[in-house]
Amino acid sequence: MKLLLLFVFVGLSCAQYNTNFRAGRTSMVHLFEWRWVDIAAECERYLGPNGFGGIQVSPPNENIIVSNPWRPWYERYQPVSYKLCSRSGTEAQFRDMVTRCNNVGVYIYVDAIINHMCGSGGGAGTHSTCGSYFNAGTKEFSGVPYSSLDFNDNKCYTSNGEIQNYGDVNQVRNCRLVGLLDLALEKDYVRGKIAAFLNNLISIGVAGFRLDAAKHMWPGDISNIISRLSNLNTQWFPSGTRPLIFQEVIDLGGEAISASEYYGNGRVTEFKYGAKLGNVVRKNWGEGWGFMPSNRALVFVDNHDNQRGHGAGGASILTFWESRLYKIGVAFMLAHPYGVTRVMSSYRWSRNFVNGKDVNDWIGPPSNSDGSTKNMVIFRNTVDGQAFTNWWDNGGNQIAFGRGNRGFIVFNNESWNMDATLNTGLPAGTYCDVISGQKEGTRCTGVQVTVSSTGSARFTISSSAEDPFIAIHVNAKL
Ligand code: AAO
């Protein structure tokens, strides 16, 4: 009986904060603009075997087709209906992906665009990804259906209907974000349509949602919609499991709305993390970090916006364009215990800077990807739940830390070579560095590290290494 009560309590207390990852898995990857057929194959071939817990996928529902500029990535942030056809694929392909990924323990988290529909200048017709008729001028969306009664314009008091001042809570939540038609989420009808959309995804087997533009929705409206959501599909999840909710709220401080207003609904994207981490890796050590509580945070080095100069974070954000620093940042994040971690898999585009701004920031996807962090994801799984221990630094940019007696990581971000003997906290033995290689059978394919009976080990890292860090853990011990 006691045991039963404990379970009930744990179930309730975790609720929408729980990632629902399969036991032993800790991280998700954002497969930005990937196609469903490619993701299904990626789950089976790579993400499952390499310990990934989940995937944030691009919005699966019908969106406007933007032709000027030609088919930018961001058209998917302009919904036309909740039918499941998009550039990533058809509904059948989406269902097949969810089934195949779930079967190998990699769960799907949908980027849900529920704050708004398309931009007010989107025109009228069937230039939408499933061919549904809409008229942005009269606010008619036949595929849902929504009419002009379902939007917020009557509550917005700015001269042009736009958010003009982020210091005014009412504007941020009742007016249009960059011209996007703002849904009236206090209406029972609208709440019902959104909940039906999300519940359809849950029934297919989806494990949770990123709520796009959550700052632009009233926390109480979000809470009502969450209360209408079903438990996850029991084909893959224990009965009574709630979907993970993580809300996109950009809070770098200094605005009227703070991230903490959303903690009651679920986790929140911690944008300070990538900004501060970027500063640290760029060697601009700064003031106290002031992050939200770890059990409320979803963290990332970069996201699809700030990777290309949209959203928040500015120049300090690390991206694949600076691969060496980027890998340091991603490895640090995955080794450190804070938050639920999300790595990024996007695509390369040709940049063109005009007056310091990339005028190619709109370019849409090819069908390939880049980026590999598989061994650090396994590191994070291996050290999950272990304390942050054995911190060491040289007073500058050589740092090291451990995770209990399960893992240890060392970074040399100085312009000179590192040679240091450090206390790792690990059991004695020979360990394979999982950055330069890995353990294969009875040998290491890269650097080997010998930990003595007192737990100390010598680390040498060249300042010219492309990956100037070494990571060892107990599952890569010979
Ligand atoms: C496109 C066109 C527009 C056109 C519109 C409609 O670009 O010109 O008007 O269509 O036709 C994405 C793209 C948009 C695109 C949109 C729709 O990024 O360019 O518009 O799809 O296709 C705010 C929101 C945040 C949002 C972010 C981009 O709060 O929710 O803007 N992110 C999500 C998605 C994003 C998507 C949308 C929302 C819309 O991730 O991909 O847009 O679905 C401040 C505020 C932030 C605010 C930023 C940017 O940040 O705090 O809340 O984010 O400004 O406006 C310092 C400050 C920091 C500040 C930052 C930037 O870092 O510390 O607080 O500077 O000023």
Q: What is the DSSP string of 298-319?
A: EE-S--TTGGGT-SS-GGG---
**Would you list the domain boundaries of the chain?**
16-377, 379-476
Band of pLDDT at residue 2, cut at 50, 70 and 90: very low
pLDDT at 14: 59
pLDDT tens, residue by residue, 197-241: 999 999 999 999 999 999 999 999 999 999 999 999 999 999 999
What one-character-per-residue DSSP string does 391-453 give?
Answer: EEE-SSSEEEEEETTTEEEEEE-SSS-EEEEEE--PPSEEEE-TTT--EETTEESS-EEEE-T
Neighbours of 237 (CB within 10 A): 19
What pLDDT does residue 10 have?
Answer: 39
Q: Is it the case that residue 355 has pLDDT exceeding 70?
A: yes
Please write the tens of the pLDDT for every residue from 22-40: 999 999 999 999 999 999 9
Task: Tell me the CA–centroid distance for residue 311 and ligand 1, in Å.
Answer: 5
Distance 276 CA to ligand 1 centre (A): 20
CATH architecture of 16-377: Alpha-Beta Barrel (3.20)
Mean pLDDT for 57-69 is: 96
Contact 349 CB / ligand 1 (< 6 Å): no
**pLDDT > 50? residue 7:** no
Only one residue has tokens 């974070």, namely: 313
Contacts of 38 (CB under 8 A, 6+ apart): 367
pLDDT attached to residue 15: 86
Instruction: State how far the Cα of 388 lies from the Cα of 89, in Å rounded to an integer.
Output: 42
- Whose C-alpha lies nearest to ligand 1, atom 50? 312
Please answer whether residues 264 and 284 qualify as being in contact, where contact means their C-beta atoms are separated by less than 8 angstroms.
no
- pLDDT surpasses 50 at 8: no
Residue-level pLDDT at 9:
40
CA dist 245 and 377 (Å) reads 22
Distances (CA, A) of 322 to 21, 300, 326, 328, 375: 30, 16, 6, 10, 20
> Domain 379-476: which CATH class?
mainly beta
The average pLDDT across 134-156 equals: 97
Rounded Cα distance between 304 and 271, Å, is 12
Question: Is 336 within 8 Å of 409 (Cβ atoms)?
Answer: no
Residue 373 pLDDT > 80, yes or no? no
From ligand 1's centre to the CA of 393, what distance in Å? Answer: 38
Q: Is 250 in the pocket of ligand 1 (CB under 6 A)?
A: yes
In whole angstroms, what is the distance from residue 226 CA to residue 262 CA?
A: 12
- What per-residue confidence (pLDDT) applies to 287? 61
Per-residue pLDDT band for 315 (boundaries 50, 70, 90) equals: confident
Q: DSSP 3-state assignment of 86?
A: strand
Q: Cite the active site residues.
A: 212, 248
Residue 363 pLDDT class (50, 70, 90 cuts)? confident
| pLDDT tens figures, 255-303 | 999 999 999 999 999 999 999 998 888 877 666 678 999 999 999 999 9
- Given pLDDT bands bounded at 50, 70 and 90, which one contains residue 372? very low
Structure confidence at residue 27 (pLDDT): 96
Q: How high is the pLDDT of residue 477?
A: 97
Q: Which amino acid is at 468?
A: P
- Token pair listed for 292: 């939200």
pLDDT of 366 > 90? The answer is no
Ligand 1 proximity of 432 Cβ (cutoff 6 Å): no
Confidence of residue 429 (pLDDT cuts 50, 70, 90): very high
Computed over every residue of the chain, the mean pLDDT equals 92
Positive or negative, the CA dihedral 309, 315, 317, 323 is positive
Nearest atom of ligand 1 to the alpha carbon of 314: 62
Q: List the one residue out of 461, 478, 393 whose CA is nearest residue 470.
A: 461
Question: Which pLDDT value is given to residue 314?
Answer: 82
At residue 371 the predicted structure's pLDDT band, cuts being 50, 70 and 90, is: very low
Instruction: Tell me the pTM.
Output: 0.90
Task: Give the residues across from 140 on adjacent strands.
Answer: 135
Q: Tokens in use for 18?
A: 């729980």
362 lines ligand 1 (CB under 6 A): no
Integer angstrom CA distances of residue 21 from 26, 206, 431: 7, 12, 28
Q: Name the least confident of 5-19, 75-89, 244-258, 303-317.
A: 5-19
What is the predicted pLDDT for the residue at 318? 94
User: How many angstroms does the Cα of residue 306 sit away from the middle of ligand 1?
Assistant: 10
